[in-house]
C-alpha cells in the first residue's frame, strides 16, 4: 500500500511513521511538506509542486495545518490557503484515494450544550475552525475518514502548550499557576490513540466523521493535581479570571464504529511526559 502523509513536523506524523509499516502489509510511505526538503530525502516531496508526486497513492493522510498564533485578520490568507485550499488541491490530484484528515474540535465553535458528539452543530465558529469545517465539506465528496481532534499531546509536543508548560513549571519551581479557580474543563487525547484510530480506519476502510477525543475531560485543577501527584511538594496557585468555556465530549459512536479502545488516559500520559523531561 502506497501512503502519502502531508505534514512532516507533527508528533502524529512521527507516531504514524513508526506504526504504519508494522500494522499494514507492504506499506510504503512518502512525505509531503511545505518546508524545505532535505537533499538526501528521496521520499520527501514539496507541497509547492504536487505534479512531481507519484500517481498511485491509495491513502492520503492530511496532517498539515496552519494554527494562527492569535485572532488577527492578517492570518486569514494563510489559514485558508493551508487548511482549505491545499486540501482541495490534494483531492483534485488524488480523486480515487482514501483520505484521512486531521480536523479539529474547533469546528464546533461555542457549543450551546455539552457533551459534544459527532453530530453536534457548529455555532459561532472562528476562522481556524471554519477553515477546517470547509475542508471537511470538501472531503465528504470523497472516500474519507475525518478526525476531529481535541488537545493532542505526547512526547515531542510543543513546549508552549498547557501540559508541558505546567510540567516544566512544577519541575523548576515546584509550583503551578492557574487562571481563575481552575474549574474550566478541557479534553486531552494522546498521540498514540489518535494514530490508533486512524490506522483502524485505514485497515478497515471505514469512512465517516469521527471524534478523536479521550473518554474524559479534566478541569485545569484536576490536571494540576495529576502533575502534583508525580511531582510531590508542588504548590498550585490561582490568580485572576478564566472566562474560557469548558468542553466535554461523548465519542462512543466513534469508538464503536472503529472498534477502538482508548489506551492512554491522562494520568498515564502525564507520567510519560514527566519521565521524558527528566
Residue extents of the structural domains in the chain:
2-156+187-216+247-263
Contacts with 68 (C-beta within 8 Å, 6 or more apart), sequence order:
75, 78, 79, 127, 128
Q: Which residue(s) pair with 151 in the sheet?
A: 188
Looking at CATH, the fold of the domain delimited by 2-156+187-216+247-263 is given as Rossmann fold (3.40.50)
Query: Structure pTM?
Result: 0.96
pLDDT digits (tens, 9 = 90+) for 44-93: 999 999 998 999 999 999 999 999 999 999 999 999 999 999 999 999 99
Per-residue pLDDT tens over the stretch 185-225: 999 999 999 999 999 999 999 999 999 999 999 999 999 99
Q: What is the pLDDT of residue 275?
A: 92
Say how far apart CA 273 and CA 267 lie, in whole Å: 10
Mean pLDDT estimate for the chain: 95
Q: Which of 50-54, 92-96, 127-131 has the lowest mean pLDDT?
A: 50-54
Amino acid at each position: 500500500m502506497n501512503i502519502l502523509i502531508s505534514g512532516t513536523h507533527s508528533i502524529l506524523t512521527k507516531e504514524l511513521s513508526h506504526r504504519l509499516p508494522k500494522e499494514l502489509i507492504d506499506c510504503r510511505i512518502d512525505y509531503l511538506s511545505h518546508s524545505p526538503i532535505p537533499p538526501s530525502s528521496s521520499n520527501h516531496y514539496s507541497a509547492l509542486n504536487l505534479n512531481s508526486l507519484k500517481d498511485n497513492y491509495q491513502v492520503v493522510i492530511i496532517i498539515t495545518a496552519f494554527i494562527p498564533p492569535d485572532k488577527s485578520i492578517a492570518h486569514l490568507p494563510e489559514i485558508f490557503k493551508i487548511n482549505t485550499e491545499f486540501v482541495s488541491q490534494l483531492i483534485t490530484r488524488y480523486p480515487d484515494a482514501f483520505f484521512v484528515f486531521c480536523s479539529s474540535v474547533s469546528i464546533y465553535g461555542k457549543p450551546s450544550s455539552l457533551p459534544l458528539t459527532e453530530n453536534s452543530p457548529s455555532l459561532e465558529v472562528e476562522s481556524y475552525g471554519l477553515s477546517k469545517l470547509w475542508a471537511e465539506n470538501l472531503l465528504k465528496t470523497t472516500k474519507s475518514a475525518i478526525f476531529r481532534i481535541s488537545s493532542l499531546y505526547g512526547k515531542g509536543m510543543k513546549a508552549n502548550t498547557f501540559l508541558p508548560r505546567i510540567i516544566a513549571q512544577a519541575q523548576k519551581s515546584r509550583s503551578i499557576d492557574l487562571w481563575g479557580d481552575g474549574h474550566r474543563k478541557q479534553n486531552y487525547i494522546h498521540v498514540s490513540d489518535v494514530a490508533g484510530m486512524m490506522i483502524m480506519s485505514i485497515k478497515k476502510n471505514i469512512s465517516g466523521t469521527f471524534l478523536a477525543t479521550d473518554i474524559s475531560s479534566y478541569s485545569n485543577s484536576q490536571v494540576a493535581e495529576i502533575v502534583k501527584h508525580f511531582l510531590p511538594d508542588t504548590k498550585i496557585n490561582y490568580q485572576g479570571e478564566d472566562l474560557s468555556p469548558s468542553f466535554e465530549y461523548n465519542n462512543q459512536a466513534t469508538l464503536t464504529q472503529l472498534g477502538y479502545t482508548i489506551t492512554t488516559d491522562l494520568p498515564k500520559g502525564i507520567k510519560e511526559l514527566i519521565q521524558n523531561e527528566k
